[in-house]
Amino acid sequence: MSKVAIVTGSAGGLGKGIAERLCKDGFSVVLHDINEALLKETVSEFKEKNFNVFGVKGDVSKREDQFNLVKEAVDKFGRLDVFVNNAGVEAVSPFLEITEEQLNKLFKINVNGVVFGTQAAADQFIKQETKGKIINACSIAGHESYEMLGTYSATKHAVKSFTHSAAKELAKYKIRVNAYCPGVAKTKMWDRIDEEMVKYNDDLKPGEAFEKFSSEIALKRYQTPEDVANLVSFLASDDSDYITGQAILTDGGLVYR
């Protein structure tokens, strides 16, 4: 019987790349997103490739949605083996312009979402009495705090902390909790970051913020979704059974920890 994985925020971007890789690894995958139209497109595209998938629309910031997501996965596929807390959002602003709305939105999605997803997945693994893998989206911003990305960096530091504490508490149930920390990828999220950085800096032209970040990568290229998916694939596999509580950088050599 094939293993079952859930990937939140997987209708596009890095999440889609991760979901596709897990399908290729032989997983049955539950695709999830808040954007229903894009989710339907991705489900259709994956089914055309003969991947065993189905889609669930949901909002990770709502605890009941996360528990429902796990329930739907188990109703459909009979079990759960891997839960990837991938969904996340960014915000760019000078520190002095950080608003209550920005703080609430980013923490609700990036942090609360990870906590609720971890709880829902762990609850199912304990019921099944099986080992399980919980894999969280952290970031280089979970190791380094970036100017103009203050709130985003803070949420990713929180994700790293919850990864550590959940790993310690859930180890007795044979549940491993780890995080992947991407760097600079050519995704819509980075397009938005670049666009916002330009607004706040008259010296920057469109594309230059992205170029500046990319130019500092030791391996001299920006990241692809496949680079991130390779790490998640390993963390989802039996080969990583002796690894827990880690926030692993996959950034081509940008942040060194």
The secondary element (H helix, E strand) that includes residue 84 is: strand 82-85
Q: Are residues 122 and 173 in contact, defined by beta-carbon separation less than 8 angstroms? A: yes
Q: Does the annotation mark 152 as catalytic?
A: yes
- Please give the Cα distance from 11 to 29 (Å, whole number): 12
Catalytic option among 133, 156, 180, 222: 156
CA 189 to chain centre: 12
105 in catalytic set: no
Exactly one of 3, 152, 160, 222 is catalytic; which is it?
152
Short-list 95, 106, 114, 105, CA closest to 161? 114
CB-based contact 85:78 (threshold 8 Å): no
| Distance (Å, whole) CA 77 – CA 75 | 6
Report the catalytic residues: 152, 156
